[in-house]
Amino acid sequence: MKARDAAALASLERDHRLLWGLTDALHAYVDALDGGRALRRGDLKAIASGLRVVADYRHFEKEEEVMVPVLVRHGFDYHLQIFDDGRREHDSLRYLIEVLHQSAERDLNWNLDERERISRVAHQLIERQRRLSTRQEARLFPQIVARLEPPALGQLTEQLCQFDESSAAREPTLDVAGLTRSVLGFYRAHSASTLPPVRETSPGARRTLQEA
Ligand SMILES: [Fe+2]
């Protein structure tokens, strides 16, 4: 791929890398949740907030409001399967991120049903986000660089960069890579420290997970 082509997609690929890191962090977190291991207060909220900013506010909007319109103006079919998949998956992922965010409001005060729900939602979110990114990188991105003429590719690059600049100005400062490293480091270091399994003793009984 030429340097010019790589630059056109750099903005989208950078988002995908950040999202992959956040889903890695979420995976490590729910592994600890599922295994009854120590959880650190605030981690679920930080991960859900990171996903909300990077996925919902930035990446999905960038694809919907910048990438798709530019591509359609330059000959791509609006109803292309990969665009339909993107719209449907973005809606599902936005919903899953909001569910996690709401659960994070009751951080560590979850009963068994809530823990199972968090785990289910997190696993769905991880799988859907990764599948979508992989499909776009395998099927859509190569088409973009193959089909767009240099001026159109330049226009796409410029508009993606403008979007990044304006979203950086309006979003809260967020060190996503640092958050990912911190979460992964903690749960990998504590993967051997298993807590006693939590058992439900009465309907609606609430348990508090032991904090690290
Ligand atoms: Fe994407």
Average pLDDT over residues 3-31: 89
Q: How far is CA 74 from CA 95, 139, 183, in A?
A: 31, 17, 42
Is the pLDDT at 41 greater than 60? The verdict is yes
Give 132 Cα–ligand 1 centroid separation in angstroms.
7
What predicted TM-score, i.e. pTM, was given to this entire model?
Answer: 0.85
Give 128 Cα–ligand 1 centroid separation in angstroms.
11
Q: Is residue 117 part of a domain?
A: yes
Calpha distance 62→86 (Å, rounded)? 12
Contact predicate 159/38, CB 8 Å? no
Give 177 Cα–ligand 1 centroid separation in angstroms.
18
Tens-place pLDDT, residues 96-107: 999 999 999 999
Give 129 Cα–ligand 1 centroid separation in angstroms.
8
Give 108 Cα–ligand 1 centroid separation in angstroms.
31
Give 139 Cα–ligand 1 centroid separation in angstroms.
12
Q: Is residue 118 part of a domain?
A: yes
Tens-place pLDDT, residues 119-146: 999 999 999 999 999 999 999 999 999 9
Calpha distance 46→26 (Å, rounded)? 10
Average pLDDT over residues 26-36: 96
Q: Is residue 202 part of a domain?
A: no
Predicted pLDDT of residue 5: 60
Q: Is residue 149 part of a domain?
A: yes
Give 136 Cα–ligand 1 centroid separation in angstroms.
6
Predicted pLDDT of residue 70: 94
Q: CATH code at 9?
A: 1.20.120.520
Tens-place pLDDT, residues 44-96: 999 999 999 999 999 999 999 999 999 999 999 988 888 988 999 999 999 99
Predicted pLDDT of residue 202: 33
Predicted pLDDT of residue 3: 55
Q: Count the domains in the chain.
A: 1
Give 61 Cα–ligand 1 centroid separation in angstroms.
10
Give 189 Cα–ligand 1 centroid separation in angstroms.
31
Predicted pLDDT of residue 20: 97
Q: Is residue 161 part of a domain?
A: yes
Is the pLDDT at 203 greater than 60? The verdict is no
Give 171 Cα–ligand 1 centroid separation in angstroms.
19
Predicted pLDDT of residue 8: 73
Mean predicted lDDT score pLDDT of the chain: 87
Q: Is residue 54 part of a domain?
A: yes
% of the chain exceeding 90 in pLDDT: 75
Calpha distance 81→138 (Å, rounded)? 14
Q: Is residue 179 part of a domain?
A: no
Structural domain of 61: 3-170
Q: Is residue 17 part of a domain?
A: yes
Q: Counting beta carbons within 10 angstroms of the beta carbon of residue 154, is it exposed (0 to 12), middle (13 to 18) or buried (19 or more)?
A: middle
Residue type, 204: G
